[in-house]
Structure 1
Amino acid sequence: MSVKIDKKITGFAVKNEADDAAKAAEAEAAAAKEIEHMHENVGRPDVLIGSTYKIKPPMSDHALYITINDIVLNPDTDHEMRRPYEIFLNSKNMDYFQWVVALTRVISAVFRKGGDVTFLVEEMKNVFDPKGGYFKPGGRFMPSLVAEMGYAIETHMKTIGLLQSEDMSEHQRQILDEKRDEYLEKKGETAKDGDFPESAQLCMKCHTKAVILMDGCMTCLNCGDSKCG
Structure 2
Amino acid sequence: MAIKIDNKIVGYSVAKEEEAPAPVEVKTPESNIIHMHEKVARPEMLFGSTYKISTPLSEHALYVTINDIILNHGTEHEVRRPYEVFINSKNMDHFQWIVALTRIISAVFRKGGDVTFLVEELKSVFEPSGGYFKKGGKFVPSLVAEIGEVVEKHLQNIGMLEKQGLDEHQQKLVDEKKAEYLEKAAESGEAMNDEGFPKGATLCKKCNTKASIIMDGCLTCLNCGESKCG
TM superposition score category, shorter chain reference: 0.7 to 0.9
Contact kept? 1:139, 1:195, Cα under 8 Å: no
Aligned to 1:89: 87
Say yes or no: does 1:40 pair with 2:3. Answer: no
Matched, 1:228 2:229: yes
Alignment of structure 1 residues 1-229 onto 2, 5 Å: 13=20, 27=28, 33-187=31-185, 188-189=189-190, 191=192, 195-229=196-230
Q: Is the 8 A contact 1:180 1:196 kept in 2?
A: no
**Uncovered stretches (5+) of structure 2, i.e. residues with no partner:** 1-17
Deviations 1:88-112 (A, max 9, x none): 0000001011001100000000100
Query: How far apart are the structure 2 equivalents of 1:165 and 1:192?
Result: 27
TM-score in terms of structure 1 length: 0.83
Match of 1:228, as an amino acid? C
How far, CA to CA, are the matches of 2:177 and 2:21 in structure 1? 70
TM-superposed deviation, 1:171: 2.4
Deviation readout 1:119-149 (Å, 9 max, x if unpaired): 1111111111101211111111111111111
TM-score, reference length from structure 2: 0.82
Identity of aligned residues (%): 63
Q: CA deviation at 1:14?
A: 7.1
Distance between the aligned counterparts of 2:192 and 2:76, measured in 1?
47
The structural deviation recorded for 1:59 is 1.4
Going from structure 1 to structure 2, the CA distance change for 1:177 and 1:40 (only over 3 Å counts) comes to: same
Unaligned runs of 5+ in 1: 1-10
Contact 1:51–1:67 (CA under 8 A) maintained in structure 2? yes
* In 2: Cα distance, 1:199 partner to 1:174 partner: 24
Q: How many angstroms does 1:222 deviate by?
A: 2.3
- C-alpha deviation, 1:193, in angstroms: 9.4
The CA deviation string for residues 13-36 of structure 1, in whole angstroms up to 9 with x for no partner, is 379xxx99xx7xx85xx67x4321
Return the alpha-carbon distance in structure 2 between the equivalents of residues 13 and 200 of structure 1: 80
Q: Is the CA contact 2:174–2:224 (under 8 Å) kept in the aligned structure 1?
A: no
Would the aligned equivalents of 2:70 and 2:78 in 1 still touch at CA under 8 Å? yes
Q: CA deviation at 1:71?
A: 0.4
* 1:207 shift after superposition: 1.2
SS in 2 for 1:95: coil
Bigger Rg, which one? 2
Assess if the C-alpha contact under 8 Å between 1:120 and 1:150 holds in 2.
yes
Letter in 2 for 1:173: Q
Distance 1:51 1:137 in 2: 21
Counterpart-to-counterpart distance in 1, 2:101 and 2:194: 36
Give the conservation status (yes or no) of the 8 Å contact 2:137–2:195: no
3-state SS of the aligned residue for 2:122?
Answer: helix
| Equivalent position SS for 2:214 | strand
